[in-house]
Amino acid sequence: MTKPIDTKATNEARRSKPTSKGSPPNTSDLADPEFRQGSGGETHQFSEADPDHQPLTTRNGVTIADNQNTLTAGDRGPQLLEDFVMREKVFHFDHERIPERVVHARGFGARGFFETYESLADITCADLFQRAGEKTEVFVRFSTVAGNKGSGDLARDVRGFATKFYTKTGNWDLVGNNIPVFFIQDAIKFPDLIHAAKPEPDRGFPQAQTAHDNFWDFISLMPESMHMVMWIMSDRAIPRSFRFMEGFGVHTFRFVDAKLNSTFVKFHWKPKYGLQSVLWDEAVKINGADPDFHRRDLWNAIQSGAPAEFELGVQLFDDAFADKFEFDVLDATKLIPEELIPVRPIGRMVLDQTVDNFFAETEQVAFCTQNVVPGIDFTDDPLLQGRNFSYLDTQLKRLGSPNFTHLPVNAPRCPIAHFQQDGHMAFVNPKGRANYEPNSWGAQGGPREDPSRGFKSFPEPVSGTKRRVRPESFADHYSQARQFYRSQAPIEQQHMVDAMVFELSKVDRSAIRERVVASLLNVDEQLAAKVAEGLGITDLPERLPPALEPRDLPNSPALSIVNNGPQKFTGRRIGVLVDAGSDAQILAALRQEADAEGATLALVGPTREGIRDSAGDLLEIAEKLEGGPSVLFDAVAIVLSPAGAGRMAAKFAARSFVADAHHHLKFIAHDAGGSGLLDAAGIDVAKRDAGYSVLDDDASAAAFIAACRALRHWARKPG
C-alpha cells in the first residue's frame, strides 16, 4: 500500500500523446515542454533537468528538486519540521495579503451554542462530549474562498464552514468547507492552487471566478483535483443559503479516550432544513440584484427568531476499516460514502445571535486547525499537517500580533495560565516575578504542567526514510470523481455539464480545454462527450493516461441534493406580487399557511408605501418590484385585481418577475387577476404545468404551500 508511484513512463506518455485526433503534431500542448512540469498529482522522479526552463529555487537561491510533495517520515508518515522548501513556500503565501484573508476573505459570522446529545466518554475524553444536554458557546464563520471582501455571495465556489467551540478545556476550531474533499493531497500545492484560482496576476481579473485559463490549466495538470472539480461544478457550489448547506471537517481526525485509545473520525454538519441550491442563471441574477444575498438571508432569519440549526454527525471507524477501505483515509481528495459508514448524530448547533460588531468578530475571528482539545487529535493527513502550520502563521500576519487570542472573539472562555509575555498589543501579561519554568518560587512561581489533565497526543508509532513522495494509496484520482457524477440525479448531471461548458468557454487556449476533456474521459465518457459537444470539439482527444485505472464504484445516493430533498418548505421565502386592490382574503390565507409551515411571506409591489388591499387595509411591502425580482424567493404568488394585472402587465419588471420564476422551475400560484399577468409574460394556460396553483380559497392556499415542499418543479425542465 505504501510503495511510491513511479510515474516517469506515464508522464512521458502524456507528453507524447496528441490532445485530439487529427491535431497537427506540433500543436499538442501535452507535447509542449511548457507543460512538462504538470504534476498530474503524482510523484515526480525526473532525473534530468528541463532545458526549456530555469531551475526553480527557494528565495535563498537553492534549487528545488521536488515542488510537489512535502518531506515526510515514511511514505505516509508525519511531515518534518526541517522541510524548509514547504515552510518557506507556504510562509510567503500566507503573507501575500494585508489586511484581508488571502482566502475566505468574504465571510459572515454568527454566534450560538452547541448541545451534546449523549456522552461519548467511551470514544473520546473531549470535555464537551462527556455530558448529555451540555451546551457549549460557538462562533461560526461562513465564507467564499476565491473572491475578495467585496465579491458577490453567489459566486460558484467552495463555502467555508468554520466553527469555534469555546469549551471548558480550551478552544476547538473545526475549520471545514461545505464540500467533504479538497483539490490537493499535499499542502505544498496550496499556494499554486490559490494562485491559479485567483485573478490572473497580469490583469487582475476575473474576480471570484474560476472561469479562466490559469485555473483550468492547473486543474488539467493535476488529476488529483478531479474529484473536487466534480463537486464545484455541481449545485453544491451555489447554495441557496448558508442555512441550507452541509459542512464537513474534510480530514480524518482522531477521537482519543482517557486511556489513549484512538478512533478515526470524520465530522459532518447536516442542516436542519435540508439542502437547497440555486440554478446558475439564478445565481448570476441574484448577484446583480443582491450581492449580499447569503449574508442578508442569515441575518434576517436570526432577527426574525428563526435561527439556523445544524446537526453534528460523525463517521467513526478503526484501523481495521482503514486498512481494508479501498482508498487511503489520509487522502483529503477522498471521502467515505455514508452507505459504508452512516453518519452518527452526536449534537446540534443553533445559531441564534448576530454579531455586535462585524469587524470585531467576523473579521477578527482567527481559526486554526491546530486548535484542538484533549480527546481530539490529528492524523498524518499531509494536507492537514500543512494547514496546522499555515493557519497560525496566517493569523500572525493578518492580525499583526501573536497576541490575537486576547481579542474577545478569539479568547478562550476557560482559565488560561502561561509564561508567554509582551509582544505587540499584549493586553494581558503574567503577574509576579517568575516568567520562566521550571522555577523554585513555590506557590508564587506560576503555572505548572499537568500530566493527568493535559493534552496527550495519540502515541502512534512513526518510522521511515525521509522522502518527498506520494504513497501509492493516494494514486487513484478518478474513481470517486466518477462515483460522484454518476450518483447525481439526471438534472444535476446536466447542471454539471452546463457548468463545465460555461467555465471552459471562458478559457482562451483550446489546448487547455482539450486537456480537461481528455481528463474527463477518465470520469465518464458521456460527460466528456457532452462537454466537448458544448465547446464545439468535434474530435474527442485521447484519454489522459491515469496513474491508476479508475473503477466503477457503487452509486452513493447521499451525494445527490435533488434525491435527498427536505420535503418541507420551512425557512423558505415566498414572494407575493401585489398592487392596489389585491384580494385581502387570499393574502390572509397565504400568510396563515406560510406561518404554519415556518416560511416567510414577503409582498412585492410597485411602491414601498401606499398600497391597500381589497379590504382597504394598508399593505406592508417588503420589496419594490424593480428591486425585488423573483430570484430572491423560493416560490412566488401573483395576487392582483384585474386592474392591477393590467398595470403590472405594462411593466417589464413584472413580466420578468413571472417569466424568471417559470424559467427557474419555481412553484407559482395566482388568482384570477394574476392570470392576466401570466398571459402578458407569454405563459398562457397551455404552458401552466402541475407547478402552477390557482388561488381561489383557503384550501387552495394550503395546497400551494404543500406543493412548495418539493422546492422546484423539475418536470418543467425540458428533457
For 327-392, give the DSSP string. Answer: S-TT-TT----TTTSPPEEEEEEEEEEE-S-HIIIIIT----TT---TTEE----HHHHHHHHHHH
Strand partners, 116: 347
Which residues are identified as catalytic?
104, 177
482 lies in a domain? Answer: no
Q: Minimal CA–CA distance to 100: which of 139, 150, 157?
A: 150
Domain CATH number, residue 312: 2.40.180.10
Q: Which of 122, 387, 147 is CA-nearest to residue 250?
A: 387
C-alpha cell, 222: 493535476
The pLDDT of residue 98 is 53
Residue 517 belongs to some domain of the structure? no
pLDDT, position 719? 60
pLDDT at position 126 is 96
In this structure, the number of other CB atoms found within 10 A of the CB of residue 258 comes to 12
DSSP classification of residue 554: P
Decide if 348 is inside a domain: yes
Cell of 457: 497526543
- Is pTM beyond 0.85? Reply is yes
DSSP state of 55: P
Contacting residues for 604 by C-beta, under 8 A, at least 6 apart: 575, 576, 577, 578, 621, 622, 623, 624, 625, 628, 657
In a domain, 452, yes or no: no
* Separation of alpha carbons 173 and 196, rounded Å: 28
Distance CA 551, CA 542 (A): 19
Q: Which H or E run includes 98? A: none
CA distance 402 to 411: 13
Contact criterion met (CB below 8 Å) for 374 and 452? no
How far from 55 is each of 136, 383, 394, 506, 703, CA to CA, in Å?
52, 26, 28, 31, 69
Phi-psi region of 473 (alpha: psi -120 to 50; beta: other; left: phi over 0): alpha
Cβ-contact 286, 154 below 8 angstroms: yes
Residue 68 lies in a domain: no
| CA separation for the pair 474, 183 (Å, rounded) | 13
Residue corresponding to grid cell 513511479: 6
Residue among 375, 372, 454, 395 nearest 163 (CA): 372
* Beta partners for residue 265, in sequence order: 253, 316
Other CB atoms within 10 A of residue 369 CB: 25
Q: Residue 374 is which amino acid?
A: P
Helix (H, G, I), strand (E, B) or coil at 65: coil
Contact in structure between 204 and 210 (CB atoms under 8 Å): no
Cβ count within 10 A of residue 485: 24
What residues of the chain score a pLDDT lower than 50?
A: 1-47
Which pLDDT value is given to residue 52? 76
Q: What is the pLDDT of residue 47?
A: 42
Identify the pLDDT of residue 41.
40
178 belongs to a structural domain: yes
Domain count, the chain: 2
Q: Is 166 helix (H, G, I), strand (E, B) or coil?
A: strand
- Domain stops at, among 386, 406, 426: 406
Cα–Cα distances in Å, from 47 out to 8, 63, 222? 9, 14, 21
Cell numbers given for 356: 455586535
Q: How far apart are the first and last CA of the chain?
A: 45
Q: Of 406, 439, 471, which residue constitutes the final position of a domain?
A: 406
Q: Note whether 638 and 587 are within 8 A (CB).
A: no
**Domain span at residue 687?**
567-716
CATH of the domain at 620: 3.40.50.880
On whether residue 587 sits in a domain, the answer given is: yes
Let me know if 139 is exposed, middle or buried by CB neighbors in 10 A (0-12, 13-18, 19+): buried
Measured over the CA atoms of residue 687, residue 689, residue 695 and residue 701, the dihedral's sign is: negative
Rounded Cα–Cα distance for residues 559 and 338 (Å): 9
Q: What single letter denotes the amino acid at residue 76?
A: R
- Among 406, 428, 459, which residue terminates a domain? 406
Can you name the residues that pair with 141 across neighbouring β-strands? 109, 162
- CB neighbour burial string for 553-572, b if at least 16 within 10 angstroms, e if fewer: bebbeebbbbeebbebbebb
